[in-house]
Amino acid sequence: MSLGAHLIELRKRLFLAALAIVIGSIAGFLVSDFVLAAMIRPISELAAEQNRNASLNFTDVSSAFDLRIQIAFTVGVVISSPVWLHQLWAFVMPGLKKNEKRYAIGFVAAAVPLFLAGCAAGWFVLPHMVTLLTGFAPEGTTALLTARSYFDFVLKLVLAIGIAFVLPVFLVLLNFAGVLTAKAILKSWRIAILAVTLFTAIATPAADVMSMFLLAIPMIGLYFLAAGIAWLHDRRAARIAARLDLELAV
């Protein structure tokens, strides 16, 4: 394809991806009441548990509308992800070799559900994080949470845990690319467990040990699963290399 044909193809893919996000955002705006109610629920629970005043505040005239637009766009990006990921893949795929296509398909197929599972786990620990962080305020004070900053906090927390669930897929990708061996992954298991434990300890309050384990166990399991896949790949690569050496020797 010529440069002009590539640009036309890119424009087509971007248009379809943007259209999917717009349609998803419209659906997101329709369910924004439900999402906003779910976001406010931890604040209501905070007020009941700590016996203090806690509320979500809109500091200017347009902040309520702005928040709904943010929610709508975020929901739209999430629910339309299969479409825009497919468009991205369809644009990149013609330039990949056969084995690269196979690895890329496997990466996307594993990364998307893991990312969504991580986002769900982040949503699960959200109430605990709200309770933990606001608990440092002195007794008798009022928790007045700005709507925009609170939504940014929720979004960053959910995305951080979602990305954490995808990191093992990057380990496998680096192994398949020849950058990282299974031996190196397994050698760092103590550091990995410590990092996961610290991350989950921060994401959940110390009093809620069960939530910490519910978040840490799948992350550690994904790490060792990545190491197992890398080990199988290294064994296969070693057999192929040995066979080639044998054929060359003959």
pLDDT of residue 82: 78
Q: What is the pLDDT of residue 27?
A: 93
Torsion over CA of 120, 79, 156 and 148, rounded to 10 degrees? Answer: -120
Q: Residue 206 pLDDT more than 70?
A: no
Among 121, 115, 136, 141, smallest CA distance to 206 is for 136
Nearest Cα residue to 171 out of 104, 235, 222: 222
**Model confidence at 1, in pLDDT bands (50, 70, 90)?**
low
What's the DSSP call for residue 138?
P
pLDDT at 101: 66
Q: In which band, very low, low, confident or very high, does the pLDDT at 19 lie, cut at 50, 70 and 90?
A: very high
> pLDDT of 39-93, one tens digit each?
888 888 777 777 777 788 888 888 888 889 988 988 888 888 778 877 777 776 6
- Mean pLDDT (the chain) is 80
Residues 87, 17 contacting (CB under 8 angstroms): yes
Confidence of residue 29 (pLDDT cuts 50, 70, 90): very high
